[in-house]
Amino acid sequence: MRSIGIINRFILKKRFEDQGGIMKKGQTAAAILLLVFALNGCGGGVGKTAFAPTETSLYVTKEGTVTSADVEICENDYYSADELKAYAQEMLDAFESENQSGSSEKKAEITECTVKDGTAKLLITFPDAEEYLRFAAEYPDEESGIQVESLDVVSVQDGVEKGYIVGSNFYKAGDEKTEVSAVDITKQKKLYVVCVTGSAKLQTDGAIQYVSEGVTLNGNTAETPEGETSYIIFR
């Protein structure tokens, strides 16, 4: 059975309860699978640098925080934003109690949760990429286009020291015909690099300047290819 995102997990739970059941952790996969097939009208939406996502995507900042946006179309109006937020908070609390890294006092937090006009939106901000990756591994969503194996956000200078950028082909944002050398990029100041392996749709808190080969830009959203390591340079 394919894993699904938090919003769809919540919808499944609500539908199961409406049918007189109680969603338990040890419930059989067969019962959940039947509900997955019954789930209609909840799929990906569509996407935008003040982060206002209209599709499932990621948002990264210079400080290294990562916001995960889960956006689903839901035809029924009886889903409550308060109930969705409470459900997501339970998942976060369970995750944090089982994954005490000890490296930071900061915790992931729900920064937006709405159910409006047939669309459910849930934004969770993680203190760093490592915490996001741990959560994504704990609660995978194989239905979304976000299948990230690794993620890091650092200054270009720190990125070079980690082996990023050098040796890759880059293009100016919005102009795929203008190739820019990695050396020219490393000479510039106040630039940051997102290093991501795997497919993702992501935005940054600064304007994207350059992208490595294979990355496509749709407005402010960069889309990275599956199974490859990509670089997004932003200011």
* In the predicted structure, residue 2 carries a pLDDT above the cut 50: no
CB-based contact 122:112 (threshold 8 Å): yes
* In the predicted structure, residue 37 carries a pLDDT above the cut 70: no
131 and 156 co-located in one domain? no
9 and 89 co-located in one domain? yes
Instruction: Tell me the sheet residues that pair with 203.
Output: 59
Among the residues of 76-192, which ranges form H helices?
Answer: 81-98, 129-138, 156-161, 182-187
174 and 161 co-located in one domain? yes
144, 174, 204 — which closes off a domain?
A: 144
Amino acid at 127: P
Residue 75, both tokens: 């035809």
Q: Where are the beta strands (DSSP E) in 127-191?
A: 147-155, 170-172, 175-180
Give residue-wise pLDDT tens across range 88-100: 999 999 998 887 6
Q: Tell me the C-alpha distance between 188 and 114, whole Å.
A: 40
12 and 113 co-located in one domain? yes
19 and 72 co-located in one domain? yes
Q: Tell me the C-alpha distance between 198 and 209, whole Å.
A: 21
Give residue-wise pLDDT tens across range 127-155: 999 999 999 999 998 888 899 999 999 99
The single residue listed with the structure tokens 């286009």 is: 145
For the chain, percent helix, then strand, then coil, each to nearest 5?
A: 25, 35, 40
119 and 7 co-located in one domain? yes
**Confidence class of residue 101 from pLDDT cuts 50, 70 and 90?**
low
User: Span 22-36, mean pLDDT?
Assistant: 42
Number of domains in the chain: 2
Q: Tell me the C-alpha distance between 153 and 5, whole Å.
A: 24
**Confidence class of residue 19 from pLDDT cuts 50, 70 and 90?**
low
**What percentage of the chain carries pLDDT values higher than 70?**
79
Predicted pLDDT of residue 28: 37
Of 29-33, 45-49, 124-128, give the range with the top mean pLDDT: 124-128
Which H or E element spans position 113? strand 109-116
* In the predicted structure, residue 103 carries a pLDDT above the cut 80: no
9 and 108 co-located in one domain? yes
Residue-averaged pLDDT of the chain: 84
Predicted pLDDT of residue 7: 82
Measured from the Cβ of residue 55, the count of other Cβ atoms closer than 10 Å reads 19
Predicted pLDDT of residue 144: 86
6 and 54 co-located in one domain? yes
CB-based contact 8:42 (threshold 8 Å): yes
113 and 54 co-located in one domain? yes
Domain that holds residue 18: 1-144
10 Å CB burial of residue 209 (0-12, 13-18, 19+) is buried
87 and 57 co-located in one domain? yes
127 and 157 co-located in one domain? no
Give residue-wise pLDDT tens across range 55-78: 999 999 999 999 999 999 886 666
107, 123, 144 — which closes off a domain?
A: 144
Predicted pLDDT of residue 26: 44
Instruction: Please state which of the ranges 15-24, 48-57, 59-68, 201-210 shows the lowest mean pLDDT.
Output: 15-24
